[in-house]
Amino acid sequence: MPLEGLCSPDEAWLFYWGWSRVYDAMQPFFTSPEMREAGLDLAEIHAHNAASLAVLDVGAGTGSLTTQLAARGVRALTLLDQSAQMLDQARAKPPLAHATFVLADATQPLPFAADSFDRVVSSGSFYYYPNPVEALAEQLRVVKPGGRVLVMGSLAPKPRLVRLLAQTFNRFPTEAEYEAWFREAGAEQVRWVHISNPWNASQYAIAICGVKPRGGGAARAAPRAVPPPPPRWRRLLRAPLVVARLTLALAAFAVIGPLQIATAAMGMRRLKATQG
């Protein structure tokens, strides 16, 4: 059972307090612009239509995907994230100077009216959510009929040891699970492709995209009620559990992180050698 370590706001705050400061330097060893470009193609965001699209990036973090959307010509950009620290990094980026920034939890009702966006996109965020169908249904609610919801997320690492360690801080749904969640949430025309880094094609992730039915056909389009916040005493009681889970996740990451960076650095060197 994965710990889903970074789903709760308390754990996320602690984790991103540090991670936001080094995220942009570390990210190229984990994911690449090429992976995200493949996802944007699947969501049919192209140079010829980008200027007419309003796009919401859910779990936008430091804005890696959003800056690629800006480079494609999207002007109406909204970044939503639960981490103020990650959003602060994005806010400082010149291509996002005119974007809208929203601090909110993607696992709760989204703070937008129905049919607000032409596309809702995310990369590296969705697989943290404890209830993926609810989150997707909410993303489908805020996208316009005929609009698209795109999710880019990890698949399970192949080596068993890496998978076991990584599951302490990530969930790793299968392709079939991702697809079933899209259909259950009410999406139509669900399509997916594997995406990978140019320097290591075997590290598969998925880009999956579905369309909101026209004519109010989305099965779960009704907004959910906002649940009341947990009482303060419950948060205090949970504090030791939060620290224990975070410590375990960080310990696992301390093993996997350097392994991944070394593998990526070797792959990049090999790629450079074959290219030139």
Select the span of 59-67, 153-161, 185-193, 226-234 touching ligand SAM (CB under 6 A): 59-67
Among 105, 177, 184, 188, binds ligand SAM (CB under 6 A): 105
CB 30 within 8 A of CB 170: no
CB 55 within 8 A of CB 222: no
Is 154 a binder of ligand SAM (CB under 6 A)?
no
Nearest CA to 219 out of 194, 241, 186 is that of: 186
Is 61 a binder of ligand SAM (CB under 6 A)?
yes
Binding pattern for the stretch 65-104 against ligand SAM, x by CB under 6 A and - elsewhere: x---------------xxx--x------------------
Upper half-sphere CA count for residue 242 (Cβ side, 13 Å): 16
Using DSSP's 3-state secondary structure scheme, residue 154 falls into: strand
Distance of closest approach, residue 12 Cβ to ligand SAM, in angstroms:
5
Select the span of 44-52, 54-62, 139-147, 267-275 touching ligand SAM (CB under 6 A): 54-62
Distance of closest approach, residue 29 Cβ to ligand SAM, in angstroms:
12
Q: How many CB atoms lie within 10 A of CB 228?
A: 6
Distance of closest approach, residue 68 Cβ to ligand SAM, in angstroms:
9
Measured from the CB atom, the residue of 30 and 145 that comes closer to ligand SAM is 30
Is 12 a binder of ligand SAM (CB under 6 A)?
yes
Is 59 a binder of ligand SAM (CB under 6 A)?
yes
Is 203 a binder of ligand SAM (CB under 6 A)?
no
Select the span of 61-69, 141-149, 226-234, 253-261 touching ligand SAM (CB under 6 A): 61-69
Copy the structure tokens of residue 6: 């970074």
Is 128 a binder of ligand SAM (CB under 6 A)?
yes
Q: Give buried/exposed letters for 51-83 (b at 16+ CB in 10 A, else e).
A: eebbbbbbbbbbbbbbbbbbebebebbbbbbbb
Among 67, 123, 139, 167, binds ligand SAM (CB under 6 A): 123
Is 267 a binder of ligand SAM (CB under 6 A)?
no
The DSSP result for 69-81, as a single string, is HHHHT--EEEEEE
The DSSP result for 192-226, as a single string, is EEEEEETTEEEEEEEEEEEEPPSSS--TT-SPPPP
Distance of closest approach, residue 269 Cβ to ligand SAM, in angstroms:
23
CB 30 within 8 A of CB 116: no
Is 106 a binder of ligand SAM (CB under 6 A)?
yes
Is 8 a binder of ligand SAM (CB under 6 A)?
no
Residues contacting ligand SAM: total by CB under 6 A: 20
Beta bridge mates, 78: 56, 100
Which residues have a Cβ under 8 Å from the Cβ of 97 and sit 6 or more positions away?
Answer: none
Nearest CA to 1 out of 158, 133, 160, 168 is that of: 168
Q: Which stretches of the chain bind ligand SAM, using CB under 6 A?
A: 12, 16, 27, 59-61, 64-65, 81-83, 86, 105-107, 123-125, 128-129
